[in-house]
Every structure is written in C-alpha cells, then in structure tokens.
C-alpha cells in the first residue's frame, strides 16, 4: 500500500496510514524525492502517527528524505511520533538529523512557516 502525498500550498504532506514494510518505506522516500522537485515544495510534513515501529531502517530512510529535500531548499518535519515509539527511538539512540519534529500536522505546518521566516529550529 503506497502512502498518499497531498499538496497544500508550498508544502507536501505525506500521511502514512498503516505499518509499512521496508520496500514501502523506500517507495515513500523515492516518491517524496521526486515530488519535492516536481512541485518545488518548500517543506514536507511526514505524518508517522500510524507507524508503530521506527527502527534503524525507517529512521535512515526518513533522514534521507530530510537531506534530499534540504538539497532542494525544503525542510522536513516528522509529526505524530507516538509516545512509545519516541521512547524506543531514544533507547535505540537513533538520530533524526536533519529532520524537525512536531506533535501533529498543525504544529508541523507551524514549524515549516517558522523556519521559512528564518526561525532556526523546531523549538516552539
């Protein structure tokens, strides 16, 4: 099942609907890389609310999304990391550079607007 990608203004919103296999994760990564160029998007929100596991592979793919987008001048925000998933990522010691994180879609878009204005990071 592929992940729907929506366009809103200058932003792309990918909302993951269910647990993903590795190949689906890669598909999402490649889709987003393509669309960022195609739509000259200024930001990406990836909604991971439905991901019940973020392991080293998923984290790496998400970071790649972030760094590819950055090369094209777009910032990427992960939103909806669940409490238990956040705890697992921290204990795993996964790194999410250069991604931003926010609570939900609304906050994610706020982060993108702020970074566009030159605010530095995802701090409130």
Partner 1 sequence: MNGQKPSLPTPPLETHEIDAELLPKLVAYLRQMSVELREKWVSRISEAQLLGVMSPEEIFSEVKAVYDNYVDALETGSVESLQAYARDLSERIIHRGVETHEVLGIVLLLRDVLARSLFLRYQDDPELLDRILDSYEPAANRIAVTVGVSFVEERERVIREQQAAIRELSTPVLQVRDRLVILPIIGAIDSQRARQLTEQLLNAIQANRAKVVVIDITGVASIDMTVANHLVQTVNAARLMGASAIITGLSSGIAQTLVDLRVDLSTMNTVGDLQGGLEEAERLLGYKVLHSDPAPPDRLA
Partner 2 sequence: MDHETCVEIESDADMVAARAAGRALAERLGFSRTDGTLIATAISEVARNILVHAGCGEILLHDVHERDRHGIVVVARDCGPGIQSVELALQDGWGSSGGLGLGLPGARRLMDEFTIESVPGDGTTVTMKKWRARDPLERLRREREQREQVWA
In the complex, which residues of this chain contact partner 2 (CB under 8 A)? 19-23, 52-57, 60, 82-85, 87-88, 91-94
Q: How many CB atoms lie within 10 A of CB 42?
A: 19
Q: What's the chain's Rg over C-alpha atoms?
A: 13
Instruction: Give the separation between CA 106 and CA 79, rounded to whole angstroms.
Output: 9
Footprint on this chain of partner 1 (rule: CB under 8 A): 4-8, 12-13, 35, 79, 81-84, 86-87, 89-91, 96, 101-107, 109-110, 113-114, 122-124
Question: Residue 121 and residue 119: Cα distance in Å, rounded?
Answer: 6
Residue 71's nearest CA partner among 46, 47, 101, 36 is 36
- Complex with partner 2: residue 90 or 123, whichever CB lies closer: 90
124 interface partner picked from partner 1, partner 2, none, CB below 5 to 8 A per type:
partner 1
- Whole-number minimum distance, CB 31 to partner 1, in Å? 10
């Amino acid at each position: 099942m592929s992940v729907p990608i929506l366009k809103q203004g200058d932003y792309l919103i990918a909302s993951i609907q269910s647990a993903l296999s590795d190949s689906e994760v890669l598909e999402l990564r490649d889709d987003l890389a393509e669309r960022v160029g195609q739509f000259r998007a200024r930001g990406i929100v990836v909604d991971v609310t439905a991901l019940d596991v973020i392991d080293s592979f998923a984290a790496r793919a998400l970071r790649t999304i972030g760094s590819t987008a950055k090369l094209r001048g777009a910032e990427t925000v992960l939103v909806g990391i669940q409490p238990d998933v956040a705890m697992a990522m921290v204990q795993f010691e996964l790194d999410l550079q250069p991604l931003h994180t926010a609570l939900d879609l609304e906050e994610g878009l706020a982060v993108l607007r702020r970074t566009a204005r030159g605010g530095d990071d995802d701090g409130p």
